[in-house]
Structure formats: C-alpha cells, structure tokens
Structure 1
Amino acid sequence: MQTIGFVVYPGFQVMSLSTVAVFETANHVAGEDVYRVALLSEHGGLVPTSAGFSIDTAPFGNRRFDTVMIGAGMEITPSTPGLLDFVRKAMKTSRRVAAPCTGAFVLAEAGLLDGKRATTHWAFARTLQKDYPRLKVEEDRIFIIDGQTWTSAGMTASIDLALAMVEKDLGAEVAREVARKLVVYHRRAGGQSQFSALLELEPKSDRIQKVLDYAKKNLKNALSVDELAAVASLSPRQFSRAFTEETGQSPAKAIEHLRVEAARLMMEQGRLPMDTIANETGFADRERMRRAFLRVLHQPPQAVRRNARVAA
C-alpha cells in the first residue's frame, strides 16, 4: 500500500483536498486499498481552512510516506521552520513530493526547487520566479514533473496532477476510469496551458463578443481594425475605443493572443510543421510567430512543442 501524507496549515484552501478524492476513487476502481491518505499538520489537531471550518490532522512525527503533498493557500505566507524541516526530510525519504498551486512556494522556500522546472497558479508564477530565481518557472503549464518533485497550477489542476500519479502507479486505464467516475476529463497533459485568451478578454457586449468569435474562426485573415469594425457595425475609431474599454486590450494585442493560443494548441495536439502552423494561424511566417510567442508566453514555439512532447 502506498501512503500519502497530505500537509495542511492554517488557512489552506479547501479545493486542495480534491486530490484526496482521486486516490479514494483509485482504490475503488482497483478493487483494493492501493492508497492510504493521512492528513498532517505541524502540531496535529484541528486546522482551520480558508472556508472557516476545521479538519482533524495528525502531527508530522517521524512517519515515512511514499508521497508527500503540500496543501495550497489563497495567499502566500512564510512557512514555519517546522514545515520547512518536514519537507526537506520528505525529499530524502519519499518517492515524490508534490506541491499544487501555492504549495510550490513551500518547496522553493525550503530550497528544494533550486535548478528545477516548476509551475504554480498563473497569478503567482512571476512572484515565484522573482523571489526564487534559482528555479525555472513555466507559468503556463498545468503540471510539471522534474525528477522527484511534482508541481501544478492552481485549483482543479491539482486533480490533473493526482490523476497523473495514478496513471504512473496503476496504468492509463485505471486513471481513465477514475476520471470517468469523477466526471472530469481524463487528465490534461502537463504541457497544456492554464491560459485562455478568450476567458481573459471577457467582453461586456454581444457586439464585441461577435467580433472575437469571428476573429477566432478567421485567424488566417489579416483581421485589420477595418475588417473587425465592419463585423461590429461600427466605425474603426468607435470600434477600437469600445473594444479597448470592454476588454482592456487593443484589438491588435487581443488578436495576437488569439493567434498564439491557436498556434500553441496545434503544437501540443499534432505534428504539423512550424511553417504550416504559422500560416494557418495568420502569422504568415515562423519569425513573426516566434516573436509573438516570446511576447505572450515568454518562450519560443520550439520550447512549447518540446514541453508537449515530454509531457506526452
């Protein structure tokens, strides 16, 4: 049986516990107790969640665990010396140490991510990189496995992380069945993005939403301001002003984000040549696509494709 030590601390986010349901369901699918989860805290006893209620925990002690997972919080707070000492010991005694969402800050503070690739919730990724420059933060990943350490994006991405563990331990078919029972997609590959250009834009009017829908379906077009304004039935000046007011971005920047997102998906989901992808998404050539990727994703297209292949 594999033991999983799930570490919590005052104010941890309740969604973190969703990973426990993955391991519980894996036991049900496997027809035996493959996993046993222990909820841990530095001193044991009741630990308050961010939602206001508390859960009962056991103290750290000297137990050894196959897997140690660090719960995530809604905010970044300094770790206690006891927590840092526990995770450092876990790196020496456990097969893997996982830190969904802001849990990555605990591992980084303990010095356990130095020289490694890691990810976290997109809202905290640049803070993680700034505060801990010795690690390589890939802010647009669902999850990353670098040797013994597993990190993931926030909230529901921790489910993808746990499903990846089940797949590694028990095989792809068991992981797929767990996902079906939980009514979630079979785990997203770690190389997939946490970012959605359309979700970030969130226009307030149907008129601007219509333009975005049109743009996404016609990325091979030039998509000039005049063309988009005609879709919105506005003058170019009225359209540019309304678009920027509603989305917080200029039309040119928004279209570039849509092109990058479409190109990234094509790289992750297929093997089309880079020239073909650049043409299909309206970049015209590879160099323009490369510059856009660096502006939006802070990495070149080749790195995106490489990460997707590694995750696969």
Structure 2
Amino acid sequence: MKNRARTTAEPHRVAVLVRDGVMPMELGLVHQLFRNACTSDGAPLYEVTTCACAPGEVRTDADFPIVVGHGPEALASADTVVIPATHALDATEIDGTLPQPLADALARIRPGTRIASICTGAFVLAAAGLLDGRRATTHWKSAADFRRLFPTVRLEPDVLYTDEGDVLTSAGEAAGIDLCLHMIRSDHGAAIANEVARSVVVPPHREGGQAQFIRTPVPEPESSSTACARTWALKNLHRQLSLRDLAGQESMSTRTFTRRFRDEVGISPGQWLIQQRVERARQLLEDTDLPVDRVAEEAGFGNTVSLRQHLQTALGVTPTAYRSTFRGTS
C-alpha cells in the first residue's frame, strides 16, 4: 500500500476534470470529501481544483451551468485526477474513442499520477488505454456497452469500486463517495477517513467488493432485519463469533439469517465479519499502543498470524508496516 500523503505544508493536489453534462452531485462530492480531510490541528490534507478541456462555462445535467476557471494545465501538477461521469454522450461513450481535446488534456497528466473515475467516467479511462488488462467497474446500467467497447478490460459490473493501484474506478454516484473515502483511507488511515465520513454523515467504510445494486424485496410484516445481530457483533468482535451466534440474535435459522443478511448487506455474514475485524484492527493500530498480538485478540483474529494474513490480503501490508505508516500522520 503506497502512502500518497504529502506534508501538511504541501497538500495533496486533486484535479477534477469535468465535461459538458457533468452531474453536480458527482463534482460536489469530490470537493466535499477531500476538503473535509484535515490534520488534528485543522490543516487541509488536500487541495481540490476543478478543470475542463477549456476554461469557461460547462453545461451540467441540471438546469444550471458551472463556470470553470482552470483549463487542462491543472492536470499537469495534480497528484490525483478524478474524472466524473457526464450525461452528454460523446464519442467516448458511443464508439470508445477520445475526442481530441480530451485526449490532449489527458496527455498533460504526469506519469505515476493516481487517476480515478466515477460512474461512466470509466469510459474515458478505458478509451485512453489505462484499463487494458485491468479490473474496472462502472454503473451497472452501462456495463453491457462498456464490455462491448472495451473487451480487453476485466469489467466487474457488480462491485462498488476497484483499486488497481494508480488507476481506480467506481460505480454510480454513491459509490463515488466510497471511492473517495477509500483513497483518503489509503493516504491517511482509517481515523481521518472515518472523521470525513462522520462530517458528511455517510457510512465510513463499504468494501469495494460489495454489490453496487442490491434488489431487496419488501419484507413481510412478521419478518425482521439482521441489524440487531450486526450491532451485537460489532460489540463482540473480540469473541469467536459463529453463524449460529449471529442467527440466534435474531431468533432465525442460519439459512434464513444468511439469506436475509445477504439481501440487506450484499455480502455473506462471514465476509462482513472479516471486513469489520480488519477495520477494528486498523483503528487499534492507529489509535493505541497495544502490542500487535493484543490487537489481533481485540479484533477477533485470535493470533498475530491470522491478523497478518487478513491485513495483507485486504491492504497489502503487515500490521507493523501499517502502524508505522499511519501512526501520528494526523
């Protein structure tokens, strides 16, 4: 896991490249989330700039335009470039090619810059050849067109977001929030990402592999959700929790509980538990001086070997490396 954090005196530069038909919510969420990421003494960790292929008025998909003061030159100094979707179809969405002004703008991006897309912004990354042979996602409604235009991309149409290191993609607008929080978490750790999520009143962490679109049937009057079991589990992560334990909290059979859990959360109870344990371990590594073996116990992994394996799988680092990266960065 590469720590992309810059010093507090030099915030990480984020450039948002907008096109005609941009959705104001997607543009706004990038600004809102990154600009809310601050150190403990209030210093901003990111500087966000909106740019276009040419400065001036840019149409949105609403009944008002936006005025963009920066042209493509802003991309040349960016550490991260974010490309939102547009509802104004152009050659990128129709035949998979880049209009020349857009191609010229992307050519200004420095090698090694992190590039992310929201929703159908993934079409731009694919047309630029940045996703060839890589995992990617986009809005589920556009998945068939994307697969037809870009057969060399490993499309995963059911996930919230993908992270291929220097190139990231997300599904619809809400998944863009998850992706931005994921980037903040990767740069500065769980504590700062959770504080940003709290400031805008959104869930602090949804794994990228979670389903982006869950069809949940209207529950029957006598049915209950699995929310109480999830709340109970979060208070008891240090224990060895079984599926029977969780189902018992809702007085359900394990089969019924598993089905309803997946309907509501989008993943299995076991997958969800691992996600929560990893998140708990991250918080303990960042916020406490507990030895790694105690962190493993408190997070419910039982031993250091199990913690190391799960953290390596989820984040690509060891517990010690994670702590050394994020302790004291805020």
Q: Same fold (TM over 0.5)?
A: yes
Q: 1:155 maps to which residue?
A: 173
Distance verdict in 2 for CA 1:150–1:259, change over 3 Å: closer
Tell me the matched-pair count: 235
Asked if 1:265 is matched to 2:268, the reply is yes
Distance verdict in 2 for CA 1:143–1:262, change over 3 Å: closer
Give the TM-score, by structure 2 length: 0.63
User: Partners of 2:182 and 2:260 in 1: how far apart?
Assistant: 29
Q: 1:21 maps to which residue?
A: 32
- Within 5 Å, give how 1:67-216 maps onto structure 2: 67-74=80-87, 76-79=89-92, 80-90=99-109, 92-198=110-216, 201=217, 209-210=219-220, 213=223
User: CA contact under 8 A between 2:18 and 2:52: conserved in structure 1?
Assistant: yes
CA-based RMSD: 3.1
TM-aligned CA deviation for residue 187 of structure 1: 2.3
Select the structure of larger CA radius of gyration: 1
Q: 1:11 aligns with which of 21, 24, 29?
A: 21
Q: Which residue identity does 1:83 align to in structure 2?
A: L
CA offsets per residue over residues 81-130 of structure 1, 9 Å max, x none? Answer: 1212322442x435300011000001111111101000111111222112
Residue ranges of structure 1 left out of the alignment (5+ in a row): 204-208, 222-255, 272-305
Q: 2:79 maps to which residue?
A: 66
TM-aligned CA deviation for residue 149 of structure 1: 0.3
Distance verdict in 2 for CA 1:109–1:46, change over 3 Å: same
TM-aligned CA deviation for residue 214 of structure 1: 8.3
TM-aligned CA deviation for residue 167 of structure 1: 1.0
Distance verdict in 2 for CA 1:7–1:29, change over 3 Å: farther
Distance verdict in 2 for CA 1:263–1:23, change over 3 Å: closer
Distance verdict in 2 for CA 1:162–1:155, change over 3 Å: same
Q: 1:35 aligns with which of 46, 56, 60?
A: 46
Q: 2:255 maps to which residue?
A: 220
User: CA contact under 8 A between 1:143 and 1:152: conserved in structure 2?
Assistant: yes
User: CA contact under 8 A between 1:7 and 1:39: conserved in structure 2?
Assistant: yes
TM-aligned CA deviation for residue 7 of structure 1: 0.5
User: Partners of 2:142 and 2:260 in 1: how far apart?
Assistant: 20
TM-aligned CA deviation for residue 180 of structure 1: 0.7
Identity of aligned residues (%): 33
User: Partners of 2:220 and 2:47 in 1: how far apart?
Assistant: 50
Distance verdict in 2 for CA 1:257–1:175, change over 3 Å: closer
**Range with bigger deviation, 55-64 or 33-42:** 55-64
User: Partners of 1:77 and 1:212 in 2: how far apart?
Assistant: 50
User: Partners of 1:88 and 1:133 in 2: how far apart?
Assistant: 23
Residue ranges of structure 2 left out of the alignment (5+ in a row): 1-10, 93-98, 227-251, 275-309, 317-330
User: Partners of 2:38 and 2:112 in 1: how far apart?
Assistant: 21
Distance verdict in 2 for CA 1:53–1:212, change over 3 Å: farther
User: CA contact under 8 A between 2:214 and 2:266: conserved in structure 1?
Assistant: no
Distance verdict in 2 for CA 1:34–1:262, change over 3 Å: closer
TM-aligned CA deviation for residue 266 of structure 1: 2.7
Distance verdict in 2 for CA 1:51–1:311, change over 3 Å: farther
User: Partners of 1:85 and 1:213 in 2: how far apart?
Assistant: 56
Q: 2:322 maps to which residue?
A: none
SS in 2 for 1:6: strand
Q: 2:56 aligns with which of 34, 45, 52?
A: 45
User: Partners of 2:42 and 2:260 in 1: how far apart?
Assistant: 46
User: Partners of 1:95 and 1:196 in 2: how far apart?
Assistant: 33
CA offsets per residue over residues 230-265 of structure 1, 9 Å max, x none? Answer: xxxxxxxxxxxxxxxxxxxxxxxxxx9997888832
Q: 2:249 maps to which residue?
A: none
User: CA contact under 8 A between 1:64 and 1:94: conserved in structure 2?
Assistant: no
**Range with bigger deviation, 29-38 or 46-55:** 29-38
TM-aligned CA deviation for residue 268 of structure 1: 2.3
CA offsets per residue over residues 129-151 of structure 1, 9 Å max, x none? Answer: 12100000111111110121010
